[in-house]
Amino acid sequence: MHKPDLSESPYQRFLGLELVHHEEGLVEIRMPFREEFLRDDGSDWLHGGILSALIDIAGDYAVYSKTGGDVPTVDLRVDYLRPAKRGCLTAIARTVKVGRRVSIADVDVKDEQGQVVAVGRGVYATPAP
């Protein structure tokens, strides 16, 4: 099993990502709130791009925890279920499949109250053995 290092990317450091839990094929990542994440000035809603970034990163690390190699994103689907309001978000990502060419992870994003605000599925290129 390979432990994700969330500090290796300047973007991930900007997001303030924290690894809460990891095991093979499963990661839980917390993203603290930043004012820059808001959709508009005066809004309490987070921009959807922040949620999709969190889904992509969490899915990537779930697959990485099984493969140990770089897993570039091939496709990403995000379903927004309810508005995400100011506050911390937590992504729970599970590896669904590790294939010869592509691997798949499903991700739930929860708000501070534990409500699922978005779900996603990432498809990642599987590294050569």
What domains lie within the chain, and their CATH numbers? Answer: 10-125 (3.10.129.10)
Reported as a single tens digit per residue, the pLDDT across 82-111 is 999 999 999 999 999 999 999 999 999 999
Whole-number pLDDT of residue 60? 96
What is the pairing mode between strands 116-125 and 73-80? antiparallel
Report whether 60 contacts 68 (CB < 8 A): no
Report whether 111 contacts 105 (CB < 8 A): no
**Distance between CA 17 and CA 4 in Å, rounded?**
11
Reported as a single tens digit per residue, the pLDDT across 22-67 is 999 999 999 999 999 998 878 889 999 999 999 999 999 999 999 9
**Could you tell me which of 115, 118, 128 has the C-alpha nearest to residue 58?**
118
